[in-house]
Structure 1
Amino acid sequence: MQYVYIAAMVLALIGMIVCSKKQKTNPAVQPVAFVLFVIVLISAGLLLNELNVFGGRSSLLANELKFYASQGTKTGDFLKTAMPGKKLLLVADPGFEKNDNVKLLADALREGYGGEVVVDTVELPGNQADAPMPLYMMMKAKDFDAMVEKHPDVGVIVTTVGLPQDANNLKFMKQPADKRPALFLMGLPSGPVPGIMPAIQSGAIVGLIISSPEAKYDVPAPSDPMEAFDIRYVLVTKDNAEQYKGNFTN
């Protein structure tokens, strides 16, 4: 559409020039010149809006996506040191194949980690597209285990959908630590989650991302994703879990 707006502006400007030359001998062209002037203004406004010069919804969305994707960069950078050289499984909501948010997050995770990242979801019985509730409220431990079993070669599971409510029944978590994939939680469902604190302190969960108590939401995202992360989020590990325990425990 940018070219259409530019073409309209150029043609209208040419028309105005022609009218300005003729209006001395033909005053009737003055209204035409005014209409062409209006066309120039409208076309210029539409072009500037298309280019996001005035900001707007699309630029706000792009800004939020930068913050969101920064979680992938931070997680990848952390796991590159904590769990180097392993294949990562990113667990996302159903329909992730067409979700630009997930694509950006996965790309950021790959870039931060510098290794292989695959994306999958937890499949539930029935039609997930018509599901009335979020995935974390419906999935069971057996569903999560089934997804994990599809990827026997992954070394780290990074989940954006939380854990099933009966997470204490997860089979893969009952395996010896050196035999099962590590678990990283990228965000939690709203509300306290019992059992998270001891799981982090024991290393059963290697990391957890939560919203920062000092998060800012009315600022532009820095070009550096690590700086963007620090504005919105906190990475919780066993080293600082005690400091943030009030954010995810009863």
Structure 2
Amino acid sequence: MGEIFTFGTILTVVIMVAALIGMFICAKKQQVYQNAQTFAFVLLAIVIACGITILFQTGVLGSANTEKLIAKEMLFAKAKATVLGQSLAASYPGLKTLLIVEPGYEKNENQKQLIAALKEGFGSKIPTVVIASPEVPPMPAGTPPEMMMRPPLEEMMQAKQFDAIINKYPDCKLIVTLIGLPFDVGEMELWRKDEAVRPKVALFNGEIYELKGAIMQKLIVAAVAYKPGAKFTESPTKDIKKDFDLRYVLLTPANVEAEAAKNPGLFK
């Protein structure tokens, strides 16, 4: 028993229980606090992640099953990337494009597949693509190995770091971020630039709950969100458009109001 339930597993169980308690609290408070439902979804994701981690740590979830699950999710993610790329290529052909990705993407096969899928969507209409990553502060010295898992980049990255990447490539007039936006997104100097010189921003990943206004104002020209009610038990069809439509919705300034009316849970 001691060999199965290591300190890491026990810590994961503690986090999972705390997230479950948080979900129950959010469920009771959602009529009082408007962000309670959003927090509940985040906590649900943590519970699911912890559950999968425990299964993997204890050997219940074998490597073969894990590989099948990852392969399935990658088919959906690549469909998402390709459809976004196709949409941007149709709307903004010829723009030099900056992809903002996870640090160390060169060693991350999944990240490389997503970049390739985006480029496939771009086709010949967006031939010039630059790839860059933000500088991420190192974990504090002495952090236990069990605590070395980094939080999502959008929770660590600040507006000034995001602005620094964009300012480094002033000739890139289309920005596609695979890592969302910084937690202090409203502080970005990018938004204060004149529309004539401001690069267009598209979100492959990221929280869009409070970004309806930004999309309507064309500060963000495209964003992909999970479709409310999507069934994550569905298997991919390997048809890019069908797989995209099973999971996602593409939001643009042209359709954001209609999609918000159709899917009330998308935005604040």
Name the TM-score, length of structure 2 as normaliser: 0.65
User: Relative to 1, partners in 2 of residues 1:125 and 1:56: Cα closer, same or farther, differing over 3 Å?
Assistant: closer
Q: In the alignment, does 2:159 pair up with 1:141?
A: yes
Q: What amino acid is aligned across from residue 95 of structure 2 in structure 1?
A: K
Residues 129-172 of structure 1: CA deviation (Å, up to 9, x unaligned): 95742211121111101111222221211112221222222122
Aligned partners of 1:228, 1:143: CA distance in 2, in Å?
A: 34
Q: What amino acid is aligned across from residue 71 of structure 1 in structure 2?
A: K
Aligned partners of 1:247, 1:78: CA distance in 2, in Å?
A: 24
Q: What amino acid is aligned across from residue 231 of structure 2 in structure 1?
A: K
Shift of 1:97: 1.6
- Secondary structure in 2 matching 1:89: strand
Q: Which residue of 2 aligns with 1:218?
A: 233
User: Relative to 1, partners in 2 of residues 1:210 and 1:111: Cα closer, same or farther, differing over 3 Å?
Assistant: same
- Paired-residue identity, %: 35
Q: Which residue of 2 aligns with 1:81?
A: 90
Q: What amino acid is aligned across from residue 214 of structure 1 in structure 2?
A: G
Q: What amino acid is aligned across from residue 77 of structure 2 in structure 1?
A: Y
Q: Which residue of 2 aligns with 1:177?
A: 195
Q: What amino acid is aligned across from residue 80 of structure 1 in structure 2?
A: A
Q: Which residue of 1 aligns with 2:27?
A: none
Listed as ranges, the matches of 1:1-250 within 5 Å are: 56-114=65-123, 115-126=127-138, 132-189=150-207, 193-194=209-210, 196-245=211-260, 246-250=264-268
Residues 47-80 of structure 1: CA deviation (Å, up to 9, x unaligned): xxxxxxxx84423321211101111111111011
Long gaps (5+) in structure 2: 1-63, 141-146
**Larger radius of gyration, structure 1 or 2?**
1
Aligned partners of 1:92, 1:247: CA distance in 2, in Å?
A: 27
Shift of 1:230: 0.9
- Secondary structure in 1 matching 2:81: helix
- Secondary structure in 2 matching 1:164: coil
Coordinate RMSD, CA, aligned: 2.3
Contact 1:89-1:158 at 8 Å conserved across structures: yes
Aligned partners of 1:168, 1:59: CA distance in 2, in Å?
A: 39
- Secondary structure in 2 matching 1:76: helix
Aligned partners of 2:112, 2:122: CA distance in 1, in Å?
A: 15
| Equivalences, count | 193
Aligned partners of 2:68, 2:161: CA distance in 1, in Å?
A: 38
Aligned partners of 1:92, 1:136: CA distance in 2, in Å?
A: 11
Residues 199-235 of structure 1: CA deviation (Å, up to 9, x unaligned): 1111111011000123232232122212211111110
Contact 1:63-1:220 at 8 Å conserved across structures: yes
Shift of 1:248: 4.4
User: Relative to 1, partners in 2 of residues 1:121 and 1:99: Cα closer, same or farther, differing over 3 Å?
Assistant: same
Contact 1:91-1:157 at 8 Å conserved across structures: yes
Residues 85-144 of structure 1: CA deviation (Å, up to 9, x unaligned): 112222122222211121111111111112232322111344599574221112111110
Name the TM-score, length of structure 1 as normaliser: 0.70
